[in-house]
Each structure stands twice: as structure tokens, then as C-alpha cells.
């Protein structure tokens, strides 16, 4: 971390890979003249202008809105346009494509599996009353509190940083992942939506919701302050209580009591009374 902001030279260690010509990725170094306020995206442009025009990355808005410029910067998945170089280092930067995705070229990851999973969780409003949806006779009322239930999840820009940081994604590329799951929750919790049952089916697949081990990295890296780990846990809770209602249990198994003949350990206090109706 730099305290004083002044011009300096920073070495960018960039992981390069062209699947058409390279057998495997390799690292290349570029020295970039950095001015205070320069972002990593600005540094990449300088490399392209002054050193190597073949360096590839993706960007569009330059202002943390489009989600195109997600990459791994000094080991953390983040947006290049939203990261000032001198906030991180005045000497060295390592830059690589987002992990947990195939590399299209250099710093460009193939995010299409994320978008396919996103579509699979039905990330849009579903209404039972189709006629009313297409020819509304009134407004769908929603209070400020109703809005706050899902508002933070609407800030997702689909940059893929949460998917790249997820330890479950690293070992199971079929896992739906934090971005689609958070969006499934966003619509499920919206009180104008009737698609809860269909969406729950979509997330309780083999590599779905319950594969999440709650590492929490997705929420730690999100550049927009979205908390996918929270969405996933809340959705698990919803499904758990659905299951209890379905099986007519009044209390979860862990507080149902000891099997017959098993003595209670006096050092462990009795759990408090707990019923579905209290939720």
C-alpha cells in the first residue's frame, strides 16, 4: 500500500495465453510509467500503446458498470477499471485472466458458462396471471421494505468475479455458482413474483444450491457490494423449512431429542424450543 502518491514505474507481470499458438500460459513483464489516479485498465492501455499491441483484455464502460474488465489482480478477482494501481503497489502487479473459466486469450475469460447458468435459474419475473402480466389493470404495489429485501442483489453486473473466487467452482465446474444463485434468490424474494416453486426446482439440482460450502469469498470480492453468500444461505433456509413442512415435522431433526436410551450430556445445555411456526 502506498502512502504518498507520486509518479513511479510499476512492473506489470501479465499472464499471457493464446490457445491457437501457445501450449500453455506464460508470464511476461512490462514496465509502466504510473501517475497518481491511474487504474490498472489505464496501465494495460499503456502497454498496448507502447509495448505490445497484441495484449488482449475486455472492457467497455471504464467506470465499474458494464462488468467487462474482471480479472485477477494481485491474486484477487476484481475490476481493472475500478482499481487504482497505487492503491495496490508502487512496484509490482500480477495480472491474469479470471480463474474457474476457460481463457479465450490473455486476460479474456470465457464467461459463457456463467451466463448459461444464469438463464437456467429463470432470472426474471414470473407471474401466474399471464393475462394480467401482459395487460395490467393496475399497479403491483411494493413497499420500501419489500424493495430492500432484494435491492442489493440487483446491483450485480455479471463481471464473474464471484465465480472466479468461489472455492467450490474451482473443484466443480458444473456448480451453478454464486452469481446465478444470488439472482435466483433476488427474484424469489421479490413479492411481485410467482415463480418461487419453478426457481427452487432449478436450484436444487445435483450441482446446485447445496454444493455451496459457504466459503464466503464471493461476497468478499464483489466489486458492487453484493452478498451472494447471504443469498445462498437464505435460500437454503427457505428450502429447509419447505422440507420440514412437507414432512410435517414440527421441529428440525437436531432438536427432536435423543434416541431412546441415550443419556443427555449434562455439560451440554438443552436447545431452546423451536418450531416451524416461529419462523
Kindly tell me which of 40 and 181 has the beta carbon lying closer to ligand FES.
Answer: 40
- Give the nearer residue to ligand FES in terms of CB position, either 40 or 176: 40
> Beta-carbon neighbour count of residue 141 at 10 Å?
8
As measured in angstroms, the least distance from the Cβ of 64 to ligand FES is: 5
Q: Which residue in 117, 234, 95, 124 sits closest to 169, CA to CA?
A: 117
Rounded to a whole number of angstroms, the minimum distance from the CB of residue 177 to ligand FES is: 19
Residues 11-70 that bind ligand FES (CB under 6 A): 59-62, 64-69
- The 10 Å Cβ neighbour count of residue 224 is 18
Q: Residue 14 — φ and ψ, nearest 5°? A: -110, 130
CB of 63 to ligand FES, least distance (A): 6
- Cell numbers of 175, please? 456448480
Closest CA to 93 of 45, 46, 29, 153: 29
Residue count, binding to ligand FES (CB under 6 A): 12
* Rounded distance between C-alpha atoms, residue 164 and residue 71, angstroms: 9
Nearest distance from C-beta of residue 70 to ligand FES, angstroms: 8
Smaller CB distance to ligand FES: residue 59 or 241? 59
Distance from C-alpha of 40 to C-alpha of 27, rounded to nearest angstrom: 17
- Residue closer to ligand FES by CB (options 60, 171) is 60
- Residue of 73, 81, 88, 108 that binds ligand FES (CB under 6 A): 81
> Cβ of residue 88: shortest distance to ligand FES, in angstroms?
16
In the complex, minimum distance from the CB of residue 137 to ligand FES, in angstroms, rounded to a whole number: 40
Q: Could you tell me which residues come within 8 angstroms of residue 85 by beta carbon, excluding any fewer than 6 positions away? A: 10, 32, 34, 38, 39, 40, 42, 43, 93
- Cα→Cα distances 52→29, 31, 49, 55, Å: 11, 12, 7, 6
Cα–Cα distance measured from residue 256 to residue 178, given in angstroms and rounded to the nearest whole number: 32
Per the DSSP assignment, residues forming a β-bridge with 71 are 78
Using CB under 6 A as the binding rule, whether residue 76 contacts ligand FES is answered as no
Task: Report in angstroms how near the CB of residue 46 gets to ligand FES at its nearest.
Answer: 16
Using the minimum distance from each CB to ligand FES, give the nearer residue, 69 or 184.
69
The contact set with ligand FES (CB under 6 A) reads 59-62, 64-69, 79, 81
Amino acid at each position: 500500500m502506498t502512502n504518498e502518491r507520486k509518479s513511479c514505474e510499476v512492473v506489470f507481470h501479465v499472464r499471457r495465453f493464446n490457445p491457437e499458438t501457445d501450449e500453455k500460459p506464460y508470464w511476461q513483464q512490462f514496465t509502466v510509467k504510473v501517475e497518481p489516479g491511474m487504474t490498472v485498465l489505464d496501465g494495460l492501455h499503456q502497454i498496448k500503446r507502447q509495448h505490445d499491441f497484441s495484449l488482449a483484455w475486455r472492457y467497455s464502460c471504464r467506470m465499474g458498470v458494464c462488468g467487462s474488465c474482471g480479472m485477477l489482480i494481485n491474486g484477487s478477482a476484481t475490476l481493472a477499471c475500478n482499481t487504482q494501481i497505487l492503491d495496490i503497489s508502487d512496484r509490482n502487479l500480477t495480472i491474469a485472466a479470471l480463474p474457474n473459466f476457460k481463457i479465450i486469450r490473455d486476460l479474456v475469460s470465457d464467461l459463457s458458462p456463467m451466463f448459461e447458468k444464469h438463464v437456467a435459474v429463470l432470472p426474471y419475473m414470473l407471474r401466474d396471471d399471464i393475462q394480467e402480466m401482459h395487460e395490467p389493470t393496475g399497479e403491483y404495489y411494493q413497499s420500501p421494505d419489500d424493495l430492500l429485501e432484494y435491492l442489493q442483489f440487483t446491483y450485480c453486473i455479471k463481471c464473474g468475479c464471484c465465480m472466479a473466487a468461489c472455492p467450490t467452482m474451482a473443484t466443480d465446474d458444473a456448480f451453478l455458482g454464486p452469481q446465478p444463485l444470488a439472482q435466483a434468490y433476488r427474484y424469489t424474494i421479490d413479492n411481485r413474483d410467482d415463480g418461487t416453486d419453478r426457481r427452487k426446482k432449478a436450484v436444487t439440482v445435483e450441482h446446485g444450491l447445496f454444493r455451496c460450502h459457504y466459503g464466503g469469498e464471493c461476497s468478499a470480492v464483489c466489486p458492487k457490494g453484493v452478498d451472494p453468500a447471504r443469498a445462498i444461505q437464505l435460500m437454503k433456509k427457505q428450502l429447509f423449512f419447505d422440507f420440514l413442512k412437507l414432512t410435517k415435522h414440527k421441529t428440525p431433526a437436531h432438536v427432536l431429542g435423543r434416541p431412546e436410551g441415550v443419556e443427555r450430556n449434562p455439560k451440554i445445555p438443552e436447545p431452546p424450543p423451536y418450531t416451524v411456526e416461529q419462523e
